[in-house]
Structure 1
Amino acid sequence: MKKTVVFKKTASCELKADVYDKGNNSPVLIYLHGGGFIFGSRSWLPPSQIEFFSEHGFSLVSVDYRLSPETKLPDIVQDLKDAFDWLVHHSGHMFGFNPLNFAVIGSSAGGYAALLMGAMELRPKAIVSLYGYGDLLGDWITKPSGHYNLLPAVKEHGVKNTVNGKETAEGGWGRYDYYLYCRQKGIWVQEVTGYEPAKDRDTLLEFCPIHRITNIYPPALLLHGEEDTDVPIEQSKIMNEKLAGAGIHSELITITGGGHVFDQNFSHPDVQAAFQKVKDFLWTHLH
Protein backbone atom coordinates (compact mmCIF):
# COMPACT_ATOMS: atom_id res chain seq x y z
CA MET A 1 0.00 0.00 0.00
CA LYS A 2 1.28 3.44 -0.92
CA LYS A 3 0.84 6.48 1.28
CA THR A 4 1.78 9.93 -0.01
CA VAL A 5 2.94 12.55 2.48
CA VAL A 6 4.20 16.13 2.23
CA PHE A 7 7.62 16.35 3.87
CA LYS A 8 8.43 19.96 3.00
CA LYS A 9 6.69 23.13 1.86
CA THR A 10 8.31 26.10 0.17
CA ALA A 11 6.67 29.40 -0.70
CA SER A 12 5.03 27.94 -3.79
CA CYS A 13 5.76 24.21 -3.83
CA GLU A 14 4.92 21.08 -1.86
CA LEU A 15 7.50 18.30 -1.80
CA LYS A 16 6.00 14.85 -1.47
CA ALA A 17 7.14 11.34 -0.70
CA ASP A 18 5.50 8.06 -1.66
CA VAL A 19 5.89 5.62 1.22
CA TYR A 20 5.62 1.83 0.91
CA ASP A 21 5.73 0.69 4.53
CA LYS A 22 6.51 -2.94 5.31
CA GLY A 23 6.20 -2.34 9.06
CA ASN A 24 7.86 -4.81 11.45
CA ASN A 25 10.72 -2.40 12.14
CA SER A 26 11.88 -2.97 8.55
CA PRO A 27 14.87 -1.18 7.01
CA VAL A 28 14.15 1.73 4.68
CA LEU A 29 15.35 2.54 1.16
CA ILE A 30 15.10 6.18 0.10
CA TYR A 31 14.74 6.36 -3.68
CA LEU A 32 15.99 9.39 -5.66
CA HIS A 33 14.75 9.58 -9.24
CA GLY A 34 16.71 10.61 -12.32
CA GLY A 35 15.97 13.11 -15.06
CA GLY A 36 19.09 15.28 -15.01
CA PHE A 37 17.51 17.41 -12.24
CA ILE A 38 15.34 18.93 -14.99
CA PHE A 39 12.51 16.42 -15.29
CA GLY A 40 11.18 13.37 -13.46
CA SER A 41 9.33 12.72 -10.22
CA ARG A 42 8.97 10.31 -7.31
CA SER A 43 6.56 8.26 -9.47
CA TRP A 44 9.55 7.05 -11.48
CA LEU A 45 10.32 4.35 -8.93
CA PRO A 46 9.60 1.30 -11.13
CA PRO A 47 6.80 -0.99 -9.94
CA SER A 48 9.08 -3.98 -10.57
CA GLN A 49 11.57 -2.59 -8.05
CA ILE A 50 8.85 -1.72 -5.53
CA GLU A 51 7.72 -5.34 -5.69
CA PHE A 52 11.27 -6.72 -5.55
CA PHE A 53 12.38 -4.75 -2.52
CA SER A 54 9.07 -5.16 -0.71
CA GLU A 55 9.21 -8.93 -1.17
CA HIS A 56 12.65 -8.90 0.43
CA GLY A 57 11.53 -7.01 3.50
CA PHE A 58 12.42 -3.39 2.73
CA SER A 59 10.22 -0.35 3.12
CA LEU A 60 10.60 2.27 0.38
CA VAL A 61 10.34 6.05 0.42
CA SER A 62 10.43 7.72 -3.01
CA VAL A 63 10.93 11.47 -2.67
CA ASP A 64 10.50 14.49 -4.89
CA TYR A 65 12.90 17.43 -5.00
CA ARG A 66 12.63 20.73 -6.80
CA LEU A 67 13.82 20.80 -10.41
CA SER A 68 16.15 22.95 -12.49
CA PRO A 69 16.49 25.45 -14.05
CA GLU A 70 13.91 27.07 -11.77
CA THR A 71 15.72 25.73 -8.68
CA LYS A 72 19.49 25.38 -8.58
CA LEU A 73 21.50 22.47 -7.21
CA PRO A 74 22.34 23.95 -3.77
CA ASP A 75 18.63 24.26 -3.00
CA ILE A 76 17.93 20.82 -4.46
CA VAL A 77 20.56 19.35 -2.14
CA GLN A 78 18.83 21.12 0.74
CA ASP A 79 15.56 19.44 -0.31
CA LEU A 80 17.28 16.07 -0.08
CA LYS A 81 18.75 16.91 3.32
CA ASP A 82 15.27 17.87 4.47
CA ALA A 83 13.87 14.59 3.14
CA PHE A 84 16.44 12.64 5.13
CA ASP A 85 15.74 14.78 8.21
CA TRP A 86 12.00 14.15 7.82
CA LEU A 87 12.59 10.41 7.60
CA VAL A 88 14.86 10.19 10.63
CA HIS A 89 13.20 12.72 12.95
CA HIS A 90 9.56 13.02 11.91
CA SER A 91 8.30 9.84 10.21
CA GLY A 92 8.60 7.39 13.08
CA HIS A 93 5.16 8.01 14.55
CA MET A 94 3.51 7.57 11.13
CA PHE A 95 4.94 4.25 9.98
CA GLY A 96 6.10 0.87 11.24
CA PHE A 97 9.57 0.85 9.66
CA ASN A 98 12.80 1.76 11.42
CA PRO A 99 13.62 5.31 10.25
CA LEU A 100 17.14 5.13 11.67
CA ASN A 101 18.04 2.09 9.59
CA PHE A 102 18.12 3.43 6.06
CA ALA A 103 20.01 3.34 2.79
CA VAL A 104 19.65 5.45 -0.32
CA ILE A 105 19.27 4.22 -3.90
CA GLY A 106 19.19 6.52 -6.90
CA SER A 107 19.16 6.40 -10.69
CA SER A 108 21.25 8.66 -12.98
CA ALA A 109 21.01 12.15 -11.45
CA GLY A 110 19.45 10.38 -8.47
CA GLY A 111 22.50 8.10 -8.36
CA TYR A 112 24.72 11.16 -8.28
CA ALA A 113 22.55 12.64 -5.52
CA ALA A 114 22.75 9.39 -3.55
CA LEU A 115 26.55 9.50 -3.77
CA LEU A 116 26.60 13.14 -2.68
CA MET A 117 24.38 12.40 0.32
CA GLY A 118 27.06 10.03 1.56
CA ALA A 119 29.15 13.10 2.35
CA MET A 120 26.46 14.87 4.39
CA GLU A 121 26.15 14.98 8.16
CA LEU A 122 23.00 12.84 8.12
CA ARG A 123 24.29 9.92 6.07
CA PRO A 124 22.67 6.70 4.92
CA LYS A 125 24.12 3.42 6.11
CA ALA A 126 24.68 2.34 2.51
CA ILE A 127 24.43 3.76 -1.01
CA VAL A 128 23.31 2.13 -4.26
CA SER A 129 24.00 4.19 -7.38
CA LEU A 130 22.43 3.14 -10.66
CA TYR A 131 24.36 4.72 -13.56
CA GLY A 132 25.22 7.73 -11.40
CA TYR A 133 28.24 10.01 -11.50
CA GLY A 134 30.70 11.60 -9.14
CA ASP A 135 32.17 14.46 -11.15
CA LEU A 136 30.53 17.68 -12.39
CA LEU A 137 33.74 19.12 -13.83
CA GLY A 138 34.72 16.53 -16.45
CA ASP A 139 34.44 17.01 -20.20
CA TRP A 140 31.64 14.43 -20.30
CA ILE A 141 29.24 16.97 -18.78
CA THR A 142 30.87 20.39 -19.30
CA LYS A 143 31.32 19.96 -23.06
CA PRO A 144 28.69 19.39 -25.77
CA SER A 145 27.64 15.73 -25.80
CA GLY A 146 28.75 13.80 -28.87
CA HIS A 147 25.89 11.36 -28.38
CA TYR A 148 23.16 13.96 -28.01
CA ASN A 149 24.50 15.98 -30.91
CA LEU A 150 23.78 13.03 -33.18
CA LEU A 151 20.12 13.86 -32.57
CA PRO A 152 18.30 16.77 -34.25
CA ALA A 153 19.42 20.06 -32.77
CA VAL A 154 17.07 21.58 -30.22
CA LYS A 155 16.60 25.29 -30.91
CA GLU A 156 16.74 27.75 -28.03
CA HIS A 157 13.63 29.43 -29.39
CA GLY A 158 10.77 27.36 -28.10
CA VAL A 159 12.73 25.15 -25.70
CA LYS A 160 12.36 27.78 -22.99
CA ASN A 161 8.63 27.13 -23.13
CA THR A 162 9.17 23.67 -21.68
CA VAL A 163 10.08 25.29 -18.35
CA ASN A 164 7.84 28.00 -16.97
CA GLY A 165 9.96 29.82 -14.41
CA LYS A 166 7.91 28.60 -11.45
CA GLU A 167 9.50 26.21 -9.00
CA THR A 168 8.24 22.67 -9.37
CA ALA A 169 9.02 19.28 -7.90
CA GLU A 170 7.29 17.12 -10.51
CA GLY A 171 8.34 17.36 -14.14
CA GLY A 172 7.11 15.26 -17.03
CA TRP A 173 8.76 14.35 -20.32
CA GLY A 174 7.68 17.70 -21.73
CA ARG A 175 10.78 19.11 -20.03
CA TYR A 176 13.11 16.60 -21.68
CA ASP A 177 13.88 18.91 -24.60
CA TYR A 178 15.40 21.38 -22.17
CA TYR A 179 17.71 18.67 -20.85
CA LEU A 180 18.58 17.70 -24.42
CA TYR A 181 19.30 21.34 -25.30
CA CYS A 182 21.62 21.70 -22.28
CA ARG A 183 23.56 18.56 -23.18
CA GLN A 184 23.87 19.53 -26.85
CA LYS A 185 25.22 22.96 -25.89
CA GLY A 186 27.37 21.75 -23.01
CA ILE A 187 25.64 24.11 -20.55
CA TRP A 188 24.00 21.58 -18.22
CA VAL A 189 26.27 22.45 -15.29
CA GLN A 190 25.52 26.16 -15.57
CA GLU A 191 21.77 25.65 -15.94
CA VAL A 192 21.45 23.15 -13.09
CA THR A 193 23.93 24.54 -10.57
CA GLY A 194 23.99 28.25 -11.35
CA TYR A 195 27.80 28.12 -11.42
CA GLU A 196 30.38 28.32 -14.21
CA PRO A 197 32.73 25.29 -14.34
CA ALA A 198 35.85 27.38 -15.01
CA LYS A 199 35.15 30.39 -12.81
CA ASP A 200 33.46 28.56 -9.94
CA ARG A 201 35.52 25.38 -9.87
CA ASP A 202 36.20 25.47 -6.11
CA THR A 203 32.51 25.84 -5.35
CA LEU A 204 31.56 23.03 -7.71
CA LEU A 205 34.11 20.72 -6.08
CA GLU A 206 31.83 20.74 -3.04
CA PHE A 207 29.15 19.14 -5.23
CA CYS A 208 31.44 16.43 -6.66
CA PRO A 209 31.17 13.17 -4.68
CA ILE A 210 34.62 12.04 -5.83
CA HIS A 211 36.05 14.98 -3.87
CA ARG A 212 33.85 14.46 -0.78
CA ILE A 213 35.02 11.00 0.30
CA THR A 214 36.17 10.65 3.91
CA ASN A 215 36.90 7.69 6.16
CA ILE A 216 33.28 7.72 7.38
CA TYR A 217 31.74 7.61 3.90
CA PRO A 218 29.15 4.79 3.68
CA PRO A 219 29.72 1.55 1.77
CA ALA A 220 28.61 1.86 -1.85
CA LEU A 221 27.41 -0.41 -4.62
CA LEU A 222 27.61 1.03 -8.14
CA LEU A 223 25.76 -0.41 -11.14
CA HIS A 224 26.38 0.76 -14.69
CA GLY A 225 25.69 -0.41 -18.23
CA GLU A 226 28.78 -0.80 -20.40
CA GLU A 227 27.05 0.90 -23.35
CA ASP A 228 25.64 3.90 -21.47
CA THR A 229 25.55 6.88 -23.86
CA ASP A 230 24.18 9.40 -21.33
CA VAL A 231 26.47 8.89 -18.33
CA PRO A 232 29.74 7.19 -19.33
CA ILE A 233 30.56 4.04 -17.35
CA GLU A 234 33.89 5.69 -16.54
CA GLN A 235 32.01 7.82 -14.01
CA SER A 236 31.20 4.76 -11.91
CA LYS A 237 34.67 3.32 -12.46
CA ILE A 238 36.31 6.50 -11.18
CA MET A 239 34.01 6.67 -8.16
CA ASN A 240 34.69 3.03 -7.35
CA GLU A 241 38.45 3.59 -7.56
CA LYS A 242 38.27 6.69 -5.35
CA LEU A 243 36.23 4.88 -2.72
CA ALA A 244 38.49 1.84 -2.72
CA GLY A 245 41.53 4.10 -2.49
CA ALA A 246 40.05 5.71 0.61
CA GLY A 247 39.46 2.33 2.22
CA ILE A 248 35.68 2.43 1.78
CA HIS A 249 33.80 -0.74 0.90
CA SER A 250 32.79 -0.34 -2.74
CA GLU A 251 31.81 -2.62 -5.58
CA LEU A 252 31.05 -1.93 -9.25
CA ILE A 253 28.64 -4.18 -11.14
CA THR A 254 28.77 -3.72 -14.91
CA ILE A 255 25.95 -4.79 -17.22
CA THR A 256 27.27 -6.20 -20.50
CA GLY A 257 25.54 -4.42 -23.37
CA GLY A 258 23.51 -2.37 -20.91
CA GLY A 259 22.61 1.20 -21.77
CA HIS A 260 21.25 4.02 -19.66
CA VAL A 261 18.26 2.95 -17.54
CA PHE A 262 19.15 -0.70 -18.12
CA ASP A 263 17.03 -1.61 -15.11
CA GLN A 264 13.87 -0.88 -17.09
CA ASN A 265 14.46 -4.33 -18.55
CA PHE A 266 14.10 -5.76 -15.06
CA SER A 267 13.38 -9.31 -16.16
CA HIS A 268 16.66 -9.63 -18.07
CA PRO A 269 18.83 -12.32 -16.40
CA ASP A 270 21.81 -9.96 -15.99
CA VAL A 271 19.62 -7.32 -14.36
CA GLN A 272 18.00 -9.91 -12.11
CA ALA A 273 21.42 -11.17 -11.04
CA ALA A 274 22.57 -7.61 -10.36
CA PHE A 275 19.57 -6.86 -8.18
CA GLN A 276 20.11 -10.01 -6.18
CA LYS A 277 23.54 -8.56 -5.37
CA VAL A 278 21.88 -5.25 -4.49
CA LYS A 279 19.56 -7.05 -2.09
CA ASP A 280 22.45 -8.95 -0.46
CA PHE A 281 24.52 -5.76 -0.18
CA LEU A 282 21.67 -3.88 1.50
CA TRP A 283 20.90 -6.66 3.95
CA THR A 284 24.59 -6.80 4.89
CA HIS A 285 24.67 -3.12 5.81
CA LEU A 286 21.14 -2.59 7.14
CA HIS A 287 20.83 -4.58 10.34
Structure 2
Amino acid sequence: MKQTVIYKTVDQCDIKGDFYPSDKKDAPVIIYIHGGGLIWGSREDMREEQINFFNSSGYHVFTIDYRLAPETKIDGIKEDVEDAINWLKTKGSETFQINVNKIVVMGSSAGGYLALLTGLMNHKPDAIVSLYGYGDITGSWYTRPSSFFLQKPNVPKQLAYQLVQPKPLSVGPIQRRYAIYLYCRQQGAWLDEATGMNPITQLDKIKTYCPYYQLDHTYPPTMLLHGNKDTDVPYEESVKMNEKLTEHQVIHDFITMDNADHVFDEHWDDPNVKQAFQRIIEFIDEHVQ
Protein backbone atom coordinates (compact mmCIF):
# COMPACT_ATOMS: atom_id res chain seq x y z
CA MET A 1 0.00 0.00 0.00
CA LYS A 2 1.32 3.42 -0.95
CA GLN A 3 2.55 5.63 1.88
CA THR A 4 3.06 9.37 1.34
CA VAL A 5 5.59 11.34 3.38
CA ILE A 6 6.85 14.92 3.48
CA TYR A 7 10.61 14.56 3.23
CA LYS A 8 11.32 18.29 3.30
CA THR A 9 9.65 21.68 3.82
CA VAL A 10 11.28 24.84 2.50
CA ASP A 11 9.78 28.31 2.04
CA GLN A 12 6.39 26.91 3.13
CA CYS A 13 6.58 24.36 0.30
CA ASP A 14 6.05 20.74 1.35
CA ILE A 15 8.02 18.32 -0.81
CA LYS A 16 6.65 14.78 -0.80
CA GLY A 17 7.52 11.24 -1.70
CA ASP A 18 5.37 8.17 -2.29
CA PHE A 19 6.65 4.82 -1.04
CA TYR A 20 5.48 1.59 -2.72
CA PRO A 21 6.70 -1.43 -0.75
CA SER A 22 7.81 -4.77 -2.10
CA ASP A 23 6.81 -7.88 -0.19
CA LYS A 24 10.52 -8.36 0.48
CA LYS A 25 11.26 -6.21 3.54
CA ASP A 26 15.04 -6.02 3.08
CA ALA A 27 14.75 -5.20 -0.62
CA PRO A 28 16.79 -2.37 -2.16
CA VAL A 29 14.96 0.90 -2.85
CA ILE A 30 14.56 2.49 -6.28
CA ILE A 31 14.17 6.25 -5.99
CA TYR A 32 12.33 7.48 -9.09
CA ILE A 33 12.69 11.09 -10.31
CA HIS A 34 10.09 12.35 -12.77
CA GLY A 35 10.80 14.32 -15.93
CA GLY A 36 9.20 17.46 -17.31
CA GLY A 37 12.16 19.65 -18.22
CA LEU A 38 12.49 20.46 -14.49
CA ILE A 39 9.41 22.65 -15.09
CA TRP A 40 6.41 20.35 -14.69
CA GLY A 41 5.48 16.94 -13.31
CA SER A 42 5.06 15.14 -10.00
CA ARG A 43 5.95 12.01 -8.08
CA GLU A 44 2.76 10.42 -9.45
CA ASP A 45 4.11 10.39 -13.02
CA MET A 46 5.70 6.95 -12.74
CA ARG A 47 3.49 4.45 -14.51
CA GLU A 48 1.64 1.99 -12.30
CA GLU A 49 2.81 -0.89 -14.49
CA GLN A 50 6.43 0.07 -13.84
CA ILE A 51 5.90 0.36 -10.09
CA ASN A 52 4.26 -3.08 -10.02
CA PHE A 53 7.05 -4.50 -12.17
CA PHE A 54 9.78 -3.31 -9.81
CA ASN A 55 7.82 -4.33 -6.71
CA SER A 56 7.27 -7.84 -8.07
CA SER A 57 10.97 -8.00 -9.00
CA GLY A 58 11.94 -7.47 -5.35
CA TYR A 59 12.44 -3.70 -5.13
CA HIS A 60 10.76 -1.01 -3.08
CA VAL A 61 9.93 2.15 -5.06
CA PHE A 62 10.12 5.70 -3.70
CA THR A 63 8.87 8.36 -6.14
CA ILE A 64 9.76 11.93 -5.24
CA ASP A 65 8.76 15.50 -5.96
CA TYR A 66 11.26 18.36 -6.12
CA ARG A 67 10.86 22.11 -6.44
CA LEU A 68 10.27 23.09 -10.04
CA ALA A 69 11.98 25.61 -12.31
CA PRO A 70 11.97 28.46 -13.07
CA GLU A 71 10.68 29.39 -9.60
CA THR A 72 13.54 27.29 -8.16
CA LYS A 73 16.88 27.05 -9.91
CA ILE A 74 19.10 24.02 -10.41
CA ASP A 75 21.03 24.48 -7.17
CA GLY A 76 17.80 24.20 -5.16
CA ILE A 77 16.53 21.29 -7.25
CA LYS A 78 19.78 19.38 -6.77
CA GLU A 79 19.55 20.08 -3.04
CA ASP A 80 16.04 18.60 -2.93
CA VAL A 81 17.12 15.38 -4.63
CA GLU A 82 20.08 15.05 -2.29
CA ASP A 83 17.84 15.71 0.70
CA ALA A 84 15.43 13.00 -0.50
CA ILE A 85 18.28 10.47 -0.56
CA ASN A 86 19.53 11.60 2.85
CA TRP A 87 15.99 11.46 4.30
CA LEU A 88 15.58 7.92 3.03
CA LYS A 89 18.92 6.87 4.51
CA THR A 90 18.19 8.45 7.92
CA LYS A 91 14.40 8.14 8.27
CA GLY A 92 13.49 5.38 5.85
CA SER A 93 14.24 2.45 8.11
CA GLU A 94 12.05 3.75 10.93
CA THR A 95 9.28 5.12 8.69
CA PHE A 96 8.92 2.13 6.36
CA GLN A 97 10.64 -0.62 8.40
CA ILE A 98 13.03 -1.39 5.56
CA ASN A 99 16.76 -1.76 4.95
CA VAL A 100 18.01 1.41 3.24
CA ASN A 101 21.63 0.35 2.73
CA LYS A 102 21.10 -0.24 -0.99
CA ILE A 103 19.64 2.53 -3.13
CA VAL A 104 19.15 2.86 -6.89
CA VAL A 105 18.26 6.23 -8.42
CA MET A 106 16.26 6.13 -11.63
CA GLY A 107 14.80 8.97 -13.66
CA SER A 108 13.33 9.81 -17.04
CA SER A 109 14.24 12.77 -19.26
CA ALA A 110 15.03 15.70 -16.91
CA GLY A 111 14.62 13.15 -14.11
CA GLY A 112 17.26 11.07 -15.87
CA TYR A 113 19.53 14.09 -15.77
CA LEU A 114 18.90 14.48 -12.02
CA ALA A 115 19.51 10.76 -11.53
CA LEU A 116 22.87 11.12 -13.27
CA LEU A 117 23.58 14.17 -11.11
CA THR A 118 23.30 12.02 -7.96
CA GLY A 119 26.48 10.27 -9.05
CA LEU A 120 28.35 13.47 -8.13
CA MET A 121 26.85 13.80 -4.66
CA ASN A 122 28.53 13.00 -1.36
CA HIS A 123 26.19 10.07 -0.72
CA LYS A 124 26.21 8.35 -4.10
CA PRO A 125 23.57 5.73 -4.89
CA ASP A 126 24.63 2.15 -5.52
CA ALA A 127 23.45 2.35 -9.13
CA ILE A 128 21.86 4.82 -11.54
CA VAL A 129 19.34 4.26 -14.35
CA SER A 130 18.73 7.05 -16.87
CA LEU A 131 15.81 6.84 -19.29
CA TYR A 132 16.43 9.27 -22.19
CA GLY A 133 18.31 11.59 -19.82
CA TYR A 134 21.39 13.71 -20.37
CA GLY A 135 24.61 14.50 -18.58
CA ASP A 136 25.35 17.87 -20.17
CA ILE A 137 23.01 20.87 -19.89
CA THR A 138 25.26 23.18 -21.90
CA GLY A 139 24.60 21.65 -25.33
CA SER A 140 23.21 23.65 -28.25
CA TRP A 141 19.99 21.62 -28.18
CA TYR A 142 19.14 23.41 -24.92
CA THR A 143 20.83 26.78 -25.54
CA ARG A 144 19.50 27.46 -29.04
CA PRO A 145 15.94 27.53 -30.44
CA SER A 146 14.73 23.99 -31.17
CA SER A 147 13.57 23.35 -34.74
CA PHE A 148 11.21 20.67 -33.42
CA PHE A 149 9.53 22.94 -30.88
CA LEU A 150 9.42 25.87 -33.31
CA GLN A 151 6.92 23.80 -35.32
CA LYS A 152 4.48 24.04 -32.42
CA PRO A 153 2.29 27.10 -31.68
CA ASN A 154 4.38 30.09 -30.67
CA VAL A 155 4.36 30.95 -26.96
CA PRO A 156 4.97 34.65 -26.23
CA LYS A 157 7.22 35.49 -23.29
CA GLN A 158 4.38 37.36 -21.56
CA LEU A 159 2.16 34.26 -21.62
CA ALA A 160 4.92 32.02 -20.31
CA TYR A 161 5.72 34.38 -17.45
CA GLN A 162 2.05 34.60 -16.46
CA LEU A 163 2.29 30.92 -15.59
CA VAL A 164 5.32 31.36 -13.33
CA GLN A 165 4.30 31.38 -9.67
CA PRO A 166 5.48 33.87 -7.01
CA LYS A 167 6.38 31.05 -4.60
CA PRO A 168 8.17 27.70 -4.98
CA LEU A 169 6.07 24.72 -6.00
CA SER A 170 6.86 21.03 -6.10
CA VAL A 171 3.92 19.75 -8.17
CA GLY A 172 3.09 21.23 -11.56
CA PRO A 173 0.50 19.72 -13.93
CA ILE A 174 1.67 19.68 -17.53
CA GLN A 175 -1.51 21.48 -18.59
CA ARG A 176 -0.48 24.54 -16.54
CA ARG A 177 3.28 24.38 -17.06
CA TYR A 178 4.04 23.07 -20.53
CA ALA A 179 3.81 26.50 -22.14
CA ILE A 180 6.75 27.64 -19.99
CA TYR A 181 8.86 24.77 -21.30
CA LEU A 182 7.68 25.37 -24.86
CA TYR A 183 8.66 29.03 -24.64
CA CYS A 184 12.09 28.07 -23.28
CA ARG A 185 12.74 25.58 -26.08
CA GLN A 186 11.48 27.94 -28.78
CA GLN A 187 13.74 30.73 -27.56
CA GLY A 188 16.73 28.67 -26.46
CA ALA A 189 16.15 30.07 -22.98
CA TRP A 190 15.94 26.86 -20.95
CA LEU A 191 19.45 27.04 -19.51
CA ASP A 192 18.95 30.63 -18.35
CA GLU A 193 15.58 29.87 -16.73
CA ALA A 194 16.59 26.57 -15.12
CA THR A 195 19.93 27.70 -13.72
CA GLY A 196 19.54 31.45 -13.24
CA MET A 197 23.05 31.73 -14.64
CA ASN A 198 24.45 33.31 -17.78
CA PRO A 199 25.45 30.49 -20.17
CA ILE A 200 28.39 32.52 -21.49
CA THR A 201 29.91 34.30 -18.49
CA GLN A 202 29.07 31.55 -15.96
CA LEU A 203 29.70 28.50 -18.13
CA ASP A 204 32.28 27.01 -15.76
CA LYS A 205 29.82 27.21 -12.86
CA ILE A 206 27.07 25.60 -14.96
CA LYS A 207 29.43 22.76 -15.86
CA THR A 208 29.62 21.82 -12.19
CA TYR A 209 26.01 20.64 -12.63
CA CYS A 210 26.95 18.45 -15.59
CA PRO A 211 27.86 14.82 -14.84
CA TYR A 212 29.42 14.63 -18.30
CA TYR A 213 32.17 17.05 -17.25
CA GLN A 214 32.50 16.05 -13.59
CA LEU A 215 32.35 12.26 -13.34
CA ASP A 216 35.38 10.11 -12.60
CA HIS A 217 36.20 6.48 -11.82
CA THR A 218 34.24 6.66 -8.52
CA TYR A 219 30.94 7.15 -10.38
CA PRO A 220 28.29 4.48 -9.60
CA PRO A 221 27.36 1.67 -12.02
CA THR A 222 25.08 3.30 -14.58
CA MET A 223 22.56 2.16 -17.14
CA LEU A 224 21.48 4.40 -20.02
CA LEU A 225 18.41 3.83 -22.20
CA HIS A 226 17.54 6.12 -25.11
CA GLY A 227 15.48 6.02 -28.31
CA ASN A 228 17.45 6.86 -31.43
CA LYS A 229 14.48 8.82 -32.82
CA ASP A 230 14.03 11.05 -29.77
CA THR A 231 12.55 14.41 -30.80
CA ASP A 232 13.07 16.10 -27.42
CA VAL A 233 16.34 14.98 -25.82
CA PRO A 234 18.86 14.08 -28.56
CA TYR A 235 19.93 10.44 -28.61
CA GLU A 236 23.50 11.74 -28.91
CA GLU A 237 23.36 12.91 -25.29
CA SER A 238 23.32 9.31 -24.07
CA VAL A 239 25.94 8.39 -26.66
CA LYS A 240 28.18 11.09 -25.13
CA MET A 241 27.57 9.82 -21.61
CA ASN A 242 28.28 6.26 -22.69
CA GLU A 243 31.64 7.38 -24.13
CA LYS A 244 32.50 9.32 -20.98
CA LEU A 245 31.65 6.36 -18.72
CA THR A 246 33.82 4.15 -20.91
CA GLU A 247 36.68 6.67 -20.75
CA HIS A 248 36.65 6.58 -16.94
CA GLN A 249 36.14 2.81 -16.79
CA VAL A 250 32.83 3.10 -14.96
CA ILE A 251 30.67 -0.02 -14.96
CA HIS A 252 27.77 0.73 -17.29
CA ASP A 253 25.37 -0.49 -19.94
CA PHE A 254 23.76 1.39 -22.82
CA ILE A 255 20.55 0.28 -24.51
CA THR A 256 19.53 1.89 -27.77
CA MET A 257 15.77 1.66 -28.35
CA ASP A 258 15.60 1.40 -32.12
CA ASN A 259 13.17 3.81 -33.83
CA ALA A 260 11.87 4.90 -30.41
CA ASP A 261 10.89 8.48 -29.57
CA HIS A 262 10.88 10.32 -26.25
CA VAL A 263 8.96 8.64 -23.37
CA PHE A 264 9.11 5.28 -25.15
CA ASP A 265 8.46 3.58 -21.82
CA GLU A 266 4.85 4.78 -21.91
CA HIS A 267 4.28 1.98 -24.42
CA TRP A 268 4.31 -0.72 -21.79
CA ASP A 269 2.66 -3.28 -24.08
CA ASP A 270 5.60 -3.04 -26.50
CA PRO A 271 7.69 -6.23 -26.12
CA ASN A 272 10.87 -4.20 -26.70
CA VAL A 273 10.03 -1.96 -23.73
CA LYS A 274 9.35 -4.93 -21.48
CA GLN A 275 12.61 -6.52 -22.58
CA ALA A 276 14.47 -3.29 -21.81
CA PHE A 277 13.01 -3.17 -18.31
CA GLN A 278 13.97 -6.78 -17.76
CA ARG A 279 17.54 -5.76 -18.60
CA ILE A 280 17.27 -2.94 -16.05
CA ILE A 281 16.39 -5.51 -13.40
CA GLU A 282 19.29 -7.72 -14.46
CA PHE A 283 21.68 -4.78 -14.27
CA ILE A 284 20.67 -3.59 -10.82
CA ASP A 285 20.38 -7.15 -9.56
CA GLU A 286 24.02 -7.66 -10.50
CA HIS A 287 25.32 -4.42 -8.99
CA VAL A 288 23.02 -3.75 -6.02
CA GLN A 289 21.58 -7.00 -4.66
* TM-score, scaled to structure 1: 0.98
| Equivalences for residues 257-268 of structure 1 within 5 A | 257-268=259-270
Gaps of 5+ in 2: none
Q: What is the CA distance between 1:159 and its match in structure 2?
A: 2.0
- Structure 2 partner of 1:72: 73
1:12 aligned partner, one-letter code: Q
The 4+ residue runs of structure 1 with deviation greater than 4 A are: none
- Structure 2 partner of 1:50: 51
- Structure 2 partner of 1:244: 246
Distance 2:245 2:259 in 1: 25
- Structure 2 partner of 1:107: 108
- Structure 2 partner of 1:196: 198
Secondary structure, aligned partner of 2:120: coil
| Equivalences for residues 221-240 of structure 1 within 5 A | 221-240=223-242
| 2:275 paired with 1:273 | yes
Gaps of 5+ in 1: none
8 Å contact from structure 2 (residues 116, 128) kept in 1: yes
8 Å contact from structure 2 (residues 192, 198) kept in 1: yes
- Structure 2 partner of 1:9: 9
Distance 1:94 1:82 in 2: 16
> What is the number of equivalent residue pairs in this alignment?
287
- Structure 2 partner of 1:184: 186
8 Å contact from structure 2 (residues 92, 98) kept in 1: no
Distance 2:106 2:234 in 1: 19
8 Å contact from structure 1 (residues 71, 167) kept in 2: yes
8 Å contact from structure 2 (residues 6, 14) kept in 1: yes
Secondary structure, aligned partner of 1:91: helix
Distance 2:25 2:9 in 1: 30
Distance 1:33 1:57 in 2: 21
Distance 1:238 1:259 in 2: 18
2:7 aligned partner, one-letter code: F
- Structure 2 partner of 1:119: 120
Distance 1:253 1:66 in 2: 30
| 2:19 paired with 1:19 | yes
2:240 aligned partner, one-letter code: I
What percent of counterpart residues are identical?
Answer: 44
Structure 1 vs Structure 2 CA RMSD: 0.9
Of stretches 157-166 and 127-136 in structure 1, the one that deviates more from structure 2 is 157-166
Q: What is the CA distance between 1:11 and its match in structure 2?
A: 2.1
- Structure 2 partner of 1:87: 88
Distance 1:196 1:140 in 2: 16
Distance 1:47 1:98 in 2: 23
